[in-house]
Amino acid sequence: MEKISKEEIADWFRGLQNSICTSLEKLDGRSTFKEDKWIRQQGGGGRSRVIKNGHLIEKGGVNFSAVSGPTPDKILQALNLSETDFFATGVSIVLHPNNPWVPIIHMNVRYFEMSNGVWWFGGGIDLTPHVVIPEKAKTFHQLLKSTCDKHDPSFYIKFKEWADDYFFIKHRDETRGIGGIFFDRLTESGGKSKEEYWNFVNDVGETFIPAYTDAVDELRDKAYSEEDKKWQKIRRGRYVEFNLVHDKGTKFGLDTNGRTESILMSLPPEANWEYDHVPETVLQKETLEFLKKGIDWIE
């Protein structure tokens, strides 16, 4: 069987960006995406699409990129490799809602290869509620488990633990949200073929819209107070801290001379940092209790 090419992978990611943007515009019901095409001087480019001031989404981005060229020294050193060229493509999404009852959602699906034959897939989906609702968390994780189980019964357990470890704000000793799944450097050494991993990444990408639709259902029009908005901005601050301090995707984009505006589109339109902030409501206190690794949301 002929192996799938990097061009075919990039084309599928372009189509995924298109379909997700169309679905999100329908779900939002008011705003539409604005596209910004860009070219990377060292090779490749992308399409950044941003939506803002919608009924549902205050600010969001659905980005596609396919970049190439000489591998930056920082990455060669991290991988312990000699000079070689690279190709990287994928779709990255972050949505910040208006209503504080609606969670932030993030997805990334990506492919990376080098001219020396090294390749891998990575990605995942995770949810960051401002207020954790256990029933919603259970449904979200069950959907991800169903997607994983179609390909390997070990995937959900392994990738859920990986997400717990990855989306962890070490300096706060708390998880960024309720996690989800996260995986990186999936290659043949993991026991599956390139086509098998590619099929899995396809299904993860197509899980995004059902997962987000359920996450916002019954919450998007829920009444909220000024105190709820204040809490939302505090939690957004935690999101910013993770993305700027710990997120490898942010660092990779900056290290490869990616487009800064596209890389930092994950940041919310407004966020607050209040000195020594103490939760003021029962739900806020309960939310902090849920921001721990290892919670079994399904059982």
A 10 A CB-CB count for 80 gives: 6
**296, part of any domain:** no
Indicate the Cα dihedral angle 9, 148, 139, 294, nearest 10°.
Answer: -110
Phi and psi based region of residue 180 (left: phi greater than 0; alpha: psi -120 to 50; beta: remaining): left
List the beta bridge partners of residue 107.
93, 125
Indicate the Cα dihedral angle 84, 255, 122, 125, nearest 10°.
Answer: -170
**Among candidates 17, 78, 10, 72, which has minimal Cα distance to 45?**
10
Q: How many domains does the chain have?
A: 1
**Among candidates 88, 92, 76, 132, which has minimal Cα distance to 250?**
92
**297, part of any domain:** no
CA count, 13 A, side-chain hemisphere, 199: 11
Q: Which pair of tokens denotes residue 247?
A: 């997120």
Say what the pLDDT of residue 260 is: 87
Q: Look at the chain and count its residues.
A: 299
**Among candidates 106, 9, 44, 40, which has minimal Cα distance to 254?**
40
Assess contact for 37 and 17: CB atoms under 8 A. no
List the beta bridge partners of residue 97.
57
Written as one letter, the residue type at 76 is L
The domain in which residue 40 lies consists of 6-290
**248, part of any domain:** yes
pTM of model > 0.85: yes
**295, part of any domain:** no
Assess contact for 78 and 36: CB atoms under 8 A. no
Q: How far apart are CA 238 and CA 22, in angstroms?
A: 30
Q: How far apart are CA 122 and CA 88, in angstroms?
A: 11
Say what the pLDDT of residue 2 is: 60
- For 220, phi and psi rounded to 5 degrees? -65, -25
Written as one letter, the residue type at 144 is L
Taking the alpha carbons at both ends of the chain, their separation in whole angstroms is: 40
In terms of DSSP bridges, do strands 44-52 and 34-39 run parallel, antiparallel, or are they unpaired?
antiparallel
**73, part of any domain:** yes
The question of whether 96 is a catalytic residue gets the answer no
Active-site choice (96, 106, 130, 141): 106
Which CATH number characterizes residue 74's domain?
A: 3.40.1500.10
**182, part of any domain:** yes
**173, part of any domain:** yes
How far is the CA of 103 from the CAs of 84, 90, 106, 133, 136, in angstroms? 40, 23, 10, 10, 10
**134, part of any domain:** yes
Taking only the tens of pLDDT, the chain with its 299 residues reads 468 999 999 999 999 999 999 999 999 999 999 999 999 888 999 999 999 999 999 999 999 999 999 887 777 776 676 778 999 999 999 999 999 999 999 999 999 999 988 899 999 999 999 999 999 999 999 999 999 999 999 999 999 999 999 999 999 999 999 999 999 999 998 889 999 999 999 999 999 999 999 999 999 999 999 999 999 999 999 999 999 999 988 887 887 777 888 889 899 999 999 999 999 899 999 999 999 999 999 98
Residues whose CB is less than 8 angstroms from the CB of residue 278 and which lie 6 or more positions away in sequence, other chains included: none
Map 86-139 to HEC letters: EEEEEEEEEEEECCCCCCEEEEEEEEEEECCCCEEEEEEEEEECCCCCHHHHHH
Helix (H) or strand (E) holding 64: strand 57-70
